[in-house]
Amino acid sequence: MNHKKMQRMLSAFVDNELGEVWTKLVQEHLVECASCQQRLQELRSIRARIRDAATVDLPDNFLYSVQRSIRREEQESVMWLGTERFARNVVFALCVLVFGVVAFGSLLEPQPTLGEDRYISGEPSDSAAHAVLGSEQVISKEDVMIAALSK
Ligand SMILES: [Zn+2]
């Protein structure tokens, strides 16, 4: 039996997973192979450390403290959700309020729009207004007054 094949069997040998025949073959190889003996020691050491890590003693109240921590986290998240919902409602109410104030304000104060179109189309037959308005690009209140007075 060759060395490489034996080395691959060592893990199963440590775990007692080999049948009677293979166990005997591995044992015979181990007697004459220092390399496989060393590998066997490493595997047994690893198995022992894994076993030790798995058997950690937990304090008696471990389960209780875990449950308490989970419950506290849940309560905090619920509280935070309530705060978040409240803040969202406040922001929404402020948006509605600002929108309402702006809309109501613009209803109360209709902005007079001074534009050439309004005066020309409003008084298409007023040649004096056309004369004044047509000569300048920008219309001021004075232009409108002049146009109205010189009619
Ligand atoms: Zn060997």
Residue 6 near residue 26 (C-beta atoms within 8 A): yes
- CA–centroid distance, 79 to ligand 1, in Å, is 65
Task: Please indicate, yes or no, if residue 91 is contained in any of the structural domains.
Answer: yes
- CA–centroid distance, 35 to ligand 1, in Å, is 6
Q: What is the mean pLDDT of the chain?
A: 83
Q: Which residues are near ligand 1, the ion (C-beta closer than 5 Å)?
A: 3, 6, 33, 36
pTM of the model: 0.38
Q: Tens digit of pLDDT for each residue in 35-54? A: 999 999 999 999 999 888 87
Residues 6+ positions from 141 with CB-CB distance below 8 Å: 114
78 in the same domain as 105: yes
Ramachandran angles phi, psi of 120, nearest 5°: -70, -45
Domains held by the chain: number: 3
pLDDT of residue 58: 80
- CA–centroid distance, 31 to ligand 1, in Å, is 9
Q: Tens digit of pLDDT for each residue in 84-133? A: 888 999 999 999 999 999 888 888 876 666 555 555 555 555 566 556 55
- Tracing tokens 């929108």 back to the chain, one arrives at 99
* Token pair recorded at residue 126: 């007023």
Interhelix angle 3-14/34-54, rounded to 10 degrees, is: 20
pLDDT of residue 31: 95
50 in the same domain as 13: yes
134 in the same domain as 106: no
Residue ranges making up the domain that contains 131: 116-149
50 in the same domain as 8: yes
Of the three residues 28, 54, 80, the one that is the final residue of a domain is 54
32 in the same domain as 12: yes
Task: Please indicate, yes or no, if residue 62 is contained in any of the structural domains.
Answer: no
- CA–centroid distance, 23 to ligand 1, in Å, is 14
Cα 151 from Cα 2, distance rounded (Å):
123
Cα 38 from Cα 40, distance rounded (Å):
5
Task: Please indicate, yes or no, if residue 67 is contained in any of the structural domains.
Answer: no
- Please state the three-class secondary structure of 9-75 as a single string: HHHHHHCCCCCHHHHHHHHHHHHHCHHHHHHHHHHHHHHHHHHHHHCCCCCCCHHHHHHHHHHHHHH
